[in-house]
């Protein structure tokens, strides 16, 4: 890494991935760069092309859906942020908004509600970014990202911008074109891929005109429901498994796990939450190995008990 770069406040050499993960798990990484806005993203690609930062580049938002490896990653973790919320979100007439990829989802939900734009309320308790939601087709309470998304803007490693219509995103239940294995990145469970080495830099979204009080009430309902049902004050990655398409009607992955008697099971420092059985929490000192062992154990017990094979929703990154 170039000597000048390690002096930059936004580039941190020799970091731990656990600092950038909502479950606080993950080993060493050669460098971490925080990026906000297009010029900084262009700069990252240009630094990489001059080999001034180590490759490959791994793009993340809040790391709220990624299990990082204990033994770490080679290359640079590029963390998308929104340094200035007001300039990272450009509202237009009629409920349309262009939002940069690093923008936090709860802040977006609040801003939409304040402006009387409906449809964004479900994002209020999802602790990720616009980029992560674009890749994951994040959803809650029967709504999902695809219902808001009109187009997605990506930047290629050459620094050029491309805008892809939402119809080309292949959105499905927590999947998109972008979720597939990225040739330049680590292997992931899941499917889909970005055009090679590209990053999501923003999305055009649209909601509907509504009364601000109604939006605020919707926001409060979503947050209240989460507080009651999810371990939101403990480190986790949200839902570990996707809800299955087979099984008793209305049975979520959480209910299958709970009724198999697995709440409170643990491996090392990682535990099946007592509040929501589809959440694994880091109860202290948990690591990737603990998480994977618990994941395998819970899958096999659910298979024995219900005859259903659960699939992970979290992205498991292999070193």
Ligand X SMILES: Cc1cc2nc3c(=O)[nH]c(=O)nc-3n(C[C@H](O)[C@H](O)[C@H](O)COP(=O)(O)OP(=O)(O)OC[C@H]3O[C@@H](n4cnc5c(N)ncnc54)[C@H](O)[C@@H]3O)c2cc1C
Residues carrying an active site annotation: 174, 239, 313
Q: How far is the CB of 194 from ligand X (least distance, A)?
A: 6
Residues in touch with ligand X (CB under 6 A): 22, 59-66, 80, 101, 126-129, 131-133, 135-136, 138-140, 178, 188, 194, 199-200, 232, 236-238, 315
Helix (H) or strand (E) run with residue 270 in it: strand 270-272
Residue closer to ligand X by CB (options 117, 240) is 240
Q: How far is the CB of 215 from ligand X (least distance, A)?
A: 18
Residue closer to ligand X by CB (options 129, 243) is 129
Q: How far is the CB of 8 from ligand X (least distance, A)?
A: 20
Residue closer to ligand X by CB (options 19, 212) is 19
Q: Cα–chain-centroid distance for residue 157? A: 22
Q: How far is the CB of 247 from ligand X (least distance, A)?
A: 20
Residue closer to ligand X by CB (options 11, 281) is 281
Residue closer to ligand X by CB (options 60, 260) is 60
Q: How far is the CB of 147 from ligand X (least distance, A)?
A: 13
């Amino acid at each position: 890494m170039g000597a000048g770069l390690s002096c930059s406040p936004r580039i941190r050499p020799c970091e731990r991935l656990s600092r950038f993960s909502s479950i606080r798990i993950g080993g060493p990484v050669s460098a971490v760069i925080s990026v906000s806005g297009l010029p900084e993203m262009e700069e990252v690609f240009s630094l990489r092309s001059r080999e001034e930062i180590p490759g490959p580049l791994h793009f993340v938002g809040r790391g709220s859906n990624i299990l990082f490896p204990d033994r770490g990653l080679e290359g640079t973790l590029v963390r998308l942020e929104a340094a200035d919320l007001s300039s990272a979100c450009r509202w237009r007439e009629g409920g349309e908004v262009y939002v940069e990829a690093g923008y936090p989802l709860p802040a977006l939900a609040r801003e939409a509600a304040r402006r009387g734009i409906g449809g964004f309320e479900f994002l209020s308790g999802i602790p990720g970014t616009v980029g992560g939601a674009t890749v994951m087709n994040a959803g809650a309470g029967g709504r999902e990202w695809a219902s808001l998304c009109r187009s997605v803007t990506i930047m290629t490693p050459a620094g050029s911008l491309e805008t892809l219509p939402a119809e080309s995103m292949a959105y499905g239940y927590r999947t998109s074109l972008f979720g597939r294995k990225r040739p330049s990145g680590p292997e992931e469970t899941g499917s889909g891929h970005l055009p090679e080495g590209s990053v999501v830099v923003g999305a055009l979204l649209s909601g509907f005109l509504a009364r601000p009080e109604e939006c605020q009430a919707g926001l409060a309902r979503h947050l209240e429901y989460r507080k009651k049902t999810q371990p939101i004050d403990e480190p986790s990655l949200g839902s570990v498994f996707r809800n299955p398409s087979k099984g008793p009607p209305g049975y979520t992955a959480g209910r299958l796990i709970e009724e198999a008697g697995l709440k409170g099971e643990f491996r090392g420092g990682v535990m099946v939450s007592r509040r929501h059985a589809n959440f694994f929490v880091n109860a202290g000192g948990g690591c990737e190995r603990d998480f994977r062992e618990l994941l395998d154990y819970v899958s096999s017990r659910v298979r024995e008990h219900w005859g259903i094979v659960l699939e992970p929703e979290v992205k498991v990154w292999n070193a």
